[in-house]
Amino acid sequence: MAKIKTSYFCQNCGAQSAKWIGKCPACGEWNTYVEEVVQREEVTPTTAWKVGSSTAQVANKPKPIADIRYQEQQRIITQDQELNRVLGGGIVPGSMVLIGGEPGIGKSTLMLQIALSLRGLKVLYVSGEESEQQIKMRAERLMAQTSDCFILTETGTQNIFKQIELVRPQVLIIDSIQTLHSSFIEAGAGSVSQVRECTAELLKFAKESGTPVFLIGHITKEGNLAGPKILEHMVDTVLQFEGDRHMTYRILRTTKNRFGSTSELGIYEMMGSGLREVSNPSEILISQREDAFSGISIGATLEGNRPLLIEVQSLVSPATYGTPQRTSTGFDAKRLNMLLAVLEKRGGYRLGTQDVFLNIAGGLKVEDPALDLAVCASILSSFEDMSIPNTSCFAAEVGLGGEVRAVNRVENRITEAEKLGFTDIYISKYNKKGVDLSKFSINIHAYGRLEEVFSSLFG
């Protein structure tokens, strides 16, 4: 019997060590090394997906780049336009996509819905967490039936590849990668070595067969994808499925994409019959108010190529205790402190003794600096207890000198505001260069200083 090797792996980043150490030299975390049984000496798992194939490998030889033939492959366009957007225009053949999210957020529902909607394509849905009856119940609820979707409840990679040889699917979905185990590794399912080995086998299958593979992954309590960090490096695309389980809206965000932009997002609404695509998210991110309230403003932001109008809510009240509170949800807390300092220094508003609470409606997390002017207007509106007209919106960055700075792609923001029925938009006067503003029917207010904006708003 061949000798079994053991090694120590960091459960946080996947770094390997021959002996146990307290602090990981790669990621700096303490007490994360665990001992695991690694691959036997005589096993060659790189060809594990090729059932019945020879283990002999043909060595690749270097080629001049001019001699490499490239043929652009046709992407698989799904019926889910939100998924097409975040993937960069559809599913790339031979790609590997990793989808992570909190438990109960709807990852399995999303992937089963996609599997049932790919009519004309043979899809194999492999589940290691649910039975066939549970998946059938969900499919009945989604009210989408097709004979092209095959369900397999299995966790062993060798058995999965045997069924792949029989079914020959055109799309493979794994739910989830942490439940799979390879017989070549004698560690438990979900361990660092098992996740890395199973992903490597599926990656080799995807690249050599040209079959797109979707992996559903668990996340840690910190919100990061569980397993070694190398898992995110191995796959082509990493998608994050976000949202509050107690709210109906879900956001599919791209954090890595070798075939498209990483700044795109898709928005869904969770319903009893599955996930519904939200084609115009600006309408759901802006509350329909009959009365005007202070502390509320509308900002025009961009997520990838998509313009969004979102609601900024602020509450400013005198501090009860000695140290005023600064709390923000969906907006960078450090940037909020910077804007408060600008308002106090350049505008003369005494906010140092006030509690400030800021919220981005809809559960979005925004990093676009074009939201600065909307945040400042919202804070001042609450501070002075004067409402901003419901038909006004903002799109400009605020500098440390109190200047209103230009933002990119202002025409897209103005067009979105005009489409949603806004009558006034406040931008930087420096955005007027090279932009034809006469083609818009919306009133465009262009200013260079914060005090000019506030004078126009509040008099």
The type of residue at 173 is: I
Q: Which residues are annotated as a binding site?
A: 101-108
Distances (CA, A) of 195 to 119, 190, 192, 199, 272: 31, 6, 5, 6, 33
* Type of residue at 25: P
Buried b (16+ CB within 10 A) or exposed e, 79-98: ebebbbbbbbebbbbbbbbb
Exposure string for 266-288, b = 16+ CB within 10 A, e = fewer? bbbbbeeebbeebeebbeebbee
DSSP state of 186: -
Pairing of strands 424-428, 443-447: parallel
* Bridge-based pairing state of the strands 404-405 and 354-360: unpaired
Three-state DSSP class for residue 395 = strand
As a whole number of angstroms, the distance between CA 297 and CA 358 comes to 11
Q: Which structure tokens are listed for 41? A: 């000496």
Beta strands 424-428 and 392-395, pairing class: parallel
Spatial distance between the Cα atoms of 242 and 365, rounded to a whole number of angstroms: 10
Bind-site residues for ATP: 101-108
Single out the residue of 380, 458, 457 nearest to residue 425, CA to CA: 457
Structure tokens at 384: 């002075």
How do the residues of the chain divide into helix, strand and coil, expressed in percent and rounded to 5?
Answer: 30, 25, 45
The alpha carbon torsion through 285, 288, 291, 294 (nearest 10 deg) reads 0
| DSSP β-bridge partners for residue 397 | 405
Q: Let me know the angle formed at the C-alpha of 129 by 123 and 130, rounded to the nearest 5 degrees.
A: 70
What letter does residue 148 receive in the DSSP assignment?
T
